[in-house]
Structures are given as structure tokens and as C-alpha cells.
């Protein structure tokens, strides 16, 4: 093989990632169509496709060999070439999934937790990953990476600077997992990951500007603008759970007062209800228990006030409500909609869609696997 300059190698790597990305999105697809959509030369596509075939990242099928010996022309992305692990660390649960390279869940592990010291959660996460690895099917690349969503402030290097509802500061989860499992690890804020999960696989697939409201024990927001996750300068965007909606209001886990999440989160709900779980409150609402219905109505209104502020600020196409409180959709949807109708600027309401998460509890876990696969395709696209 002729030697390439560094620049040529970069171009080739990028082209290869582009071809693989296209195959993932548009398969089944022919070589000619890849050339047309990507704008690359047919000869370039052909040589990249040959490498990808050798690497088993794609495979061929089609009409089969004709009498003239023509090669089958249809190409498929090999979603089983490897697997990704996605983990969602909540304040009261840990969820872990194994997916193929197209985000289909093969195996999941789920555990409720009632305390969150880092060593305790780390042990649960480690055991879950290990058992997924033991149970997963054989594949060429095995685990291509692990993604973790956490309810906290994560910098672009993957350090968890602060997760107030977990009681964590300066946690090096990425480093710890990489040392244990020797695969690339990506840590993301759970709301950012949830937004990407819904955009790629769920309720947000047809929209450009999406605000994902992750309403769990705390509230976080993931912002997608022009189809891209908006992360801010350091990756800290979307901490709207701490926008102040009540001067001198209730104290919040962040140390301030009057934050939105002190009024509209699962935590706020449990405080008001004097119940030990969202599930038990839902059971009461199902039998039309008046106090339970009133509490959901109140929480819905408070969610609506915050969402009003968000819609007036971003003029999004879509707001998606996800995480634990989406389980109570039946009782919180109407008060949310009524609050928005009453308060949000009319211009901003037109053509704005309010939806609930389609992936339900999987938004964050699937979102982090999307990051993992994306990075595998870009970085990996095997140097040869
Ligand atoms: Zn706060």
C-alpha cells in the first residue's frame, strides 16, 4: 500500500466514518447511492466499502450473483458487529442496557436504590456491566464503549463536578470504569443524554429544536438546537431545574432557594404527598383518591410554569417531558397544557408541540449509547 500523508489519513478516516454513518441511517443502500448522497467519488466509495466489508462493519446482500457474475449490490450496516452499554444512574434507581449498534436493547438490568454513596453505586454499576458482558452474544468488536448518564454537572472531560441529589462532588467515574473494563467510557448529564435518546430513537425524531425536560427527583433540561445538542461552553447547559420561580422560596439541594425543581420534581411531589414513592401515589390516583389527584394537579401546574419560561425563551418546535414524572402523564398533562395556554406568549404557542417521552425510562440509557456508537464510528473506523 502506498504511504499516505497525515492529512490524507485524516481525510480518509473522515470519509470512512461518513460512509459508515450513511449506511447506518439509510441502509439498505447501494454503492452508487452512497456516492451520490455523500458526494464522494465512486472509486473512493468502492475502496472504503471494501475495507468496511473486511472489518465486518457492513455486509452485502441483494439479487445474488447473476449469470454474468455481477456482485450483489445492496449493502447493510452490521448492527451486531459490536455492542454498547448504556447506564442511567438516577437518585432512586440504576438502569443498565446492552444495545446493538443501532440502539436495539438486547438485555437490561434494573435496580432500585435508597442511598447513593459513590462506592455503593459504583459496585452496583460494576456488577451490572459485568453481568451484561457475561451474557452478551459473541461479536467481532465486543463492547465498543460504555455510556453513563448522571443527574449532575459533567465537564467535557467526563468528570462529575457536582451531582447535588446524589451527594457527589468531583467524581472520576470515567477513569474508574475505564480502568476496570478497558473500553472507552463517556459520561453525560442525564437530561442531555435523554434529549439525544428521544431525538434519535423516540418522540423527537421529526423535530429540529427540542427541549427535553427530565423530571425526576430533580429536574434537568436537554437542549437540541438545529438538531445538535447545545452543551454550552463547558458542557453545563440546561440546569433549568435551578431557575428561580419563587423569591425566598423553598430551600433547594443546590443551596439556593425557590428553584423550579423544589416545586415541580418527584422530590417535591413526595414531600407534598407524604408518600414514599411515586408508584404508590400513582396507585392512589388510579382509584381517584382526591388528595393524590390534587397533588398531581399542583405538580403539573408547577411544571407548566417552568415550561412556559422555557418556551418563551427558546421558541422550540417541541417540548418533551421525560423521566420518572412522565409515568404520571395521565394526571399531569392537562394542568401542564392549561398553564401553558394561560401564560405562554401566543406567538410561541403556535406550532409548538408538547409530547411525553416515547422511550419512557430508557431515554437516558439509549441516549448515552448513541454517544458511544457515534464515537466508535468516528474514532474507530479502523485505521488500516
Ligand atoms: Zn436549586
Which of 77, 111, 140 finishes a domain?
Answer: 77
DSSP run (H or E) holding 373:
helix 363-375
> How many structural domains does the chain have?
3
Q: For residue 253, how far is its CA from the centre of ligand 1 (angstroms)?
A: 6
Q: How many Å apart are CA 18 and CA 24, to the nearest integer? A: 10
Q: 354 with 371, same domain? A: no
Q: 207 with 354, same domain? A: yes
Which of 46, 77, 108 finishes a domain?
Answer: 77
- Classify 7 as helix, strand or coil: helix
CATH of the domain at 181: 3.30.420.40
Residue 127's contacts (CB-CB under 8 Å, 6 or more residues apart) are none
Q: 157 with 242, same domain? A: no
Query: What's the rounded mean pLDDT across residues 230-254?
Result: 94
Which single residue is written with the C-alpha cell 392549561? 338
Residue 198 within any structural domain of the chain: no
Residue 1 within any structural domain of the chain: no
Q: Is the pLDDT of residue 62 over 70?
A: no
pTM: 0.91
Band (383; pLDDT cuts 50, 70, 90):
very low
- Using one digit for the tens of pLDDT, what is the confidence trace for 64-123? 455 555 655 799 999 999 999 999 999 999 999 999 999 999 999 999 999 999 999 999
Check residue 197 and give its pLDDT.
98
Q: For residue 12, how far is its CA from the centre of ligand 1 (angstroms)?
A: 47
The DSSP line for 335-382 is: HHHHHHHHHS-HHHHTT-EEEE-SSGGGHHHHHHHHHHHHHIIIIIS-
Q: 160 with 241, same domain? A: no
Band (3; pLDDT cuts 50, 70, 90):
confident
Q: For residue 219, how far is its CA from the centre of ligand 1 (angstroms)?
A: 9
Q: For residue 119, how far is its CA from the centre of ligand 1 (angstroms)?
A: 25
Band (216; pLDDT cuts 50, 70, 90):
very high
Q: For residue 261, how far is its CA from the centre of ligand 1 (angstroms)?
A: 7
Phi, psi dihedrals of residue 257, rounded to the nearest 5°: -135, 150
Q: For residue 334, how far is its CA from the centre of ligand 1 (angstroms)?
A: 26
The C-alpha cell that represents 44 in the structure block: 473512493
Q: 186 with 68, same domain? A: no
Q: 240 with 350, same domain? A: yes
pLDDT above 90 covers a percentage of the chain that reads: 87
Exposure string for 112-142, b = 16+ CB within 10 A, e = fewer:
eeeebebeebbebbeebbeebeeebeebebe
312 burial class (0-12, 13-18, 19+ CB within 10 angstroms)?
middle
Q: 353 with 368, same domain? A: no
Q: Which domain holds residue 167?
A: 83-193+364-379
Q: 13 with 102, same domain? A: no
Angle, CA of 133, 135 and 140, to the nearest 5°: 65
Residue 130 within any structural domain of the chain: yes
Q: For residue 6, how far is its CA from the centre of ligand 1 (angstroms)?
A: 48
Q: 207 with 351, same domain? A: yes
Q: 42 with 141, same domain? A: no
Which single residue is written with the C-alpha cell 414514599? 276
- Using one digit for the tens of pLDDT, what is the confidence trace for 16-56? 999 999 999 999 999 999 999 999 999 999 999 999 999 99
Q: Is the pLDDT of residue 6 over 90?
A: no
Q: For residue 165, how far is its CA from the centre of ligand 1 (angstroms)?
A: 10
Task: Name residue 143's beta-bridge partners.
Answer: 83
Q: At what angle do helices 31-38 and 6-26 cross, to 10 degrees?
A: 110
Q: For residue 317, how far is its CA from the centre of ligand 1 (angstroms)?
A: 27
Residue 308 within any structural domain of the chain: yes
Query: What's the rounded mean pLDDT across residues 146-156?
Result: 95
Q: For residue 9, how far is its CA from the centre of ligand 1 (angstroms)?
A: 48
Residue 384 within any structural domain of the chain: no
Q: What distance lies between CA 135 and its chain's CA centroid?
A: 23
Check residue 384 and give its pLDDT.
40
Check residue 66 and give its pLDDT.
52
- Using one digit for the tens of pLDDT, what is the confidence trace for 353-366? 999 999 999 999 99
Amino acid at each position: 500500500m502506498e504511504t499516505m500523508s497525515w492529512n490524507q489519513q485524516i481525510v480518509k478516516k473522515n470519509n470512512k466514518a461518513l460512509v459508515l454513518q450513511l449506511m447506518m441511517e439509510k441502509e439498505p443502500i447501494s454503492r452508487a447511492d452512497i456516492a451520490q448522497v455523500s458526494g464522494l467519488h465512486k472509486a473512493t466509495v468502492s475502496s472504503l466499502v471494501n475495507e468496511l466489508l473486511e472489518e465486518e462493519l457492513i455486509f452485502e446482500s441483494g439479487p445474488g450473483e447473476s449469470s454474468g457474475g455481477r456482485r450483489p449490490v445492496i449493502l447493510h450496516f452490521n448492527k451486531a458487529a459490536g455492542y454498547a452499554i448504556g447506564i442511567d444512574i438516577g437518585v432512586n434507581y440504576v438502569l443498565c442496557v446492552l444495545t446493538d449498534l443501532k440502539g436495539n436493547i438486547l438485555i437490561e438490568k434494573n435496580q432500585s436504590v435508597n442511598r447513593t454513596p459513590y462506592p455503593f453505586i459504583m459496585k452496583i454499576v460494576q456488577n451490572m456491566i459485568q453481568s451484561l458482558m457475561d451474557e452478551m452474544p459473541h461479536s467481532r468488536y465486543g463492547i465498543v464503549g460504555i455510556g453513563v448518564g448522571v443527574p449532575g454537572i459533567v465537564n467535557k472531560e467526563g468528570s462529575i463536578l457536582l451531582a447535588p441529589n446524589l451527594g457527589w462532588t468531583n467524581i472520576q467515574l470515567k477513569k474508574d470504569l475505564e480502568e476496570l473494563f478497558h473500553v472507552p467510557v463517556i459520561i453525560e448529564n442525564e437530561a442531555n443524554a435523554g434529549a439525544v435518546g428521544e431525538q434519535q430513537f423516540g418522540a423527537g425524531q421529526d423535530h429540529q429544536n427540542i427541549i427535553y425536560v427530565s423530571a425526576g427527583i430533580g429536574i434537568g433540561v436537554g437542549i437540541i438546537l438545529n438538531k445538535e445538542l447545545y452543551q454550552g461552553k463547558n458542557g453545563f447547559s440546561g440546569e433549568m431545574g435551578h431557575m428561580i420561580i419563587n423569591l425566598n422560596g423553598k430551600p433547594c439541594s443546590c443551596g439556593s432557594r425557590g428553584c423550579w425543581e423544589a416545586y415541580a420534581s418527584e422530590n417535591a411531589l413526595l414531600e407534598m404527598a407524604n408518600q414514599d414513592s411515586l408508584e404508590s401515589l400513582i396507585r392512589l390516583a388510579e382509584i381517584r383518591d382526591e388528595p393524590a389527584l390534587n397533588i398531581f394537579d399542583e405538580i403539573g401546574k408547577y411544571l407548566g410554569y417552568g415550561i412556559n419560561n422555557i418556551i418563551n425563551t427558546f421558541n422550540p418546535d417541541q417540548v418533551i417531558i421525560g423521566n420518572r414524572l412522565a409515568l404520571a402523564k395521565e394526571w399531569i398533562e392537562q394542568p401542564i397544557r392549561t398553564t401553558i395556554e394561560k401564560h405562554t406568549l401566543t406567538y410561541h404557542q403556535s406550532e409548538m408541540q408538547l409530547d411525553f417521552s416515547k422511550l419512557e425510562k430508557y431515554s437516558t440509557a439509549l441516549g448515552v449509547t448513541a454517544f458511544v456508537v457515534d464515537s466508535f464510528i468516528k474514532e474507530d473506523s479502523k485505521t488500516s
